[in-house]
Amino acid sequence: MREYLKFYIDGQWVDPVTPKTAEVINPATEEVSGTISLGSPDDVDLAVAAARKAFATYSETSVKDRLDLLETIQAEYLKREQELGEAVMEEMGAPRSLACGFHTLLGKGHLGTAIEVLKEFKFEEQRGVTMLRREPIGVCGLITPWNWPMNQTCVKIFPALATGCTMILKPPQLAPYSAQILAEILHASGVPAGVFNMIQGQGSVIGAALSKHEDVDMISFTGSEPVGVQIQKDAADTVKRVGLELGGKSAWIVLDDDAMAANVAGATAGMMGNSGQTCSAGSRLLVPAARMDEVKAAAAEAANGVTVGDPQGNFAMGPVVSKSQYNIIQDYIEKGLEEGAELIAGGLGRPEGLDKGWYVKPTVFVGTNQMVIAREEIFGPVLVIIGYDDLDHAVEIANDSPFGLGGYVSGNDLETARAVARKMRTGAIWVNGGFDFHAPFGGYKRSGNGREWGELGFHEYLETKAIVGWG
């Protein structure tokens, strides 16, 4: 049983101003796995004051000093990487192979990328008679979600540290454990007092207090569209910068070629990863309508082959994060059935043999792009297959969405795949797989604004000053 009752403020573990706690539920067992404290606006005031004070000195540190700090953090992270994975498995239900694999690898990767970028980053650049100087924006409020806790936390913290900012982290209430361990890593690494602060609690309380606070210069938020909209409203009075990475309903276009069935199977299995709880998941699979029978067979076989069970076992998929999330997903599956979508795999209820835990069947529908299950983000292992007549039609369907976060194109003809990718209105597109920590990530339309990952992730935390007459 875990018990994390203190916050990290000004380089120390401190008690909340007003004691209040909440239980954390293990989604695989439905049992209490630990207790955390819930913060208040008074805690936010203390953390912001510490960050503001620390900014005066930390913002003036040299690139070498910040590189040394990040490399020390890197060594400490490696020491506790296994613990971080175990925490992710327990808090949000990712299978061990995923939690102790890709989840922690993402955190480690963002740290290594921040080091690589910082070594080459130009904080000053002369253009003619003008010096462009990039300076840290100030005190940053970092608000992170539960679905990829290490990824979303590390992709904010390390660029902020690298650029000379100070920060207050508000981790997800549903998945608070890994952030607690990460705070311990930062403390052990000698991060100066006040540079990094962490307060656990409710987003509606801590997130709102950070967004409204006059001494917070920037908010970086990853989460749902409605919360992102509210954060923008809360931040408007102080005209602070707001970076948002919000929802998605990403299209995966499979080209009509001899690899189609294999690509459909890969896309289907990929959608079920992390229990479908990925903002950029390819939840709309666009396929040649003339080959729908082949598509159905390949997708059903792939979905039925996804094993579901205890995260500590050898399964491909664990539970979804909470009872509330489970119920939301069940409602969407019911809605798909009511809309007349054809169910070819999965469906309502838990998988056979799983009577406890928030497990969802890997579910595949064949439907249209106008159905609710194709318009709204379900955030679970539910895939909607949609037929297209030709590639122009496929692109039209892909772009007919209020979201624009991720996209995928699979096919043998690379030039055709590239041409399709160019036409998709979305922030990141993966052509035949691939992975790059330096590729910027962020959304078009209602999927948010700003970019994280790599060099562009640094710019989120920087102001640009023009010193005219320098030359």
Write out the DSSP string of 369-431.
TTSHHHHS---SSEEEEEEESSHHHHHHHHH-SSEESEEEEE-S-HHHHHHHHHH--SSEEEE
For the entire predicted model, the pTM comes to 0.97
Residue type, 128: G
C-alpha 119/C-alpha 146 separation (Å) is 31
Per-residue pLDDT tens listing for the chain (471 residues): 999 999 999 999 999 999 999 999 999 999 999 999 999 999 999 999 999 999 999 999 999 999 999 999 999 999 999 999 999 999 999 999 999 999 999 999 999 999 999 999 999 999 999 999 999 999 999 999 999 999 999 999 999 999 999 999 999 999 999 999 999 999 999 999 999 999 999 999 999 999 999 999 999 999 999 999 999 999 999 999 999 999 999 999 999 999 999 999 999 999 999 999 999 999 999 999 999 999 999 999 999 999 999 999 999 999 999 999 999 999 999 999 999 999 999 999 999 999 999 999 999 999 999 999 999 999 999 999 999 999 999 999 999 999 999 999 999 999 999 999 999 999 999 999 989 999 999 999 999 999 999 999 999 999 999 999 998
pLDDT of residue 471: 87
What is 2-246+447-468's CATH number, 3.40.605.10, 3.40.50.1980, 3.40.50.10420, 1.10.10.10?
3.40.605.10
Rounded to whole angstroms, the Cα distance separating 26 from 73 reads 29
pLDDT of residue 283: 98
User: Using CA atoms, how far apart are residues 342 and 336, in angstroms rounded to an integer?
Assistant: 8
DSSP structure class, residue 174: S
Residue type, 104: T
Query: Distance between the two ends of the chain, CA-based, in angstroms?
Result: 62
Give which of 161, 157, 267, 150 is closest to 220, Cα–Cα: 157
pLDDT at 394 (0 to 100): 98
- Pinpoint the alpha helices (H) of 164-244: 177-188, 208-212, 225-236
- Given the DSSP bridges, would you call strands 448-449 and 406-410 parallel, antiparallel or unpaired? unpaired
Strand 31-37 with 21-26, pairing: antiparallel
The CA distances from residue 91 to 29, 98, 179, 320, 432, in Å, are 11, 13, 11, 11, 32
Q: How far apart are CA 66 and CA 172, in angstroms?
A: 27
CA distance 50 to 31: 36
Query: Do 123 and 40 contact (CB within 8 A), yes or no?
Result: no
Q: Where are the domains of the chain?
A: 2-246+447-468, 251-437
Concatenated DSSP letters of 427-457: SEEEESS---TTS-B--EETTEES-BSHHHH
CB 407 within 8 A of CB 429: yes
User: What is the assigned CATH class of domain 251-437?
Assistant: alpha beta
CA 366 to mean position of chain CA atoms: 27
Residue type, 226: P
Q: Catalogue the active-site residues.
A: 245
Asked whether 363 and 344 are in contact (CB, 8 A), the reply is no
Residue for token digits 């299978």? 95
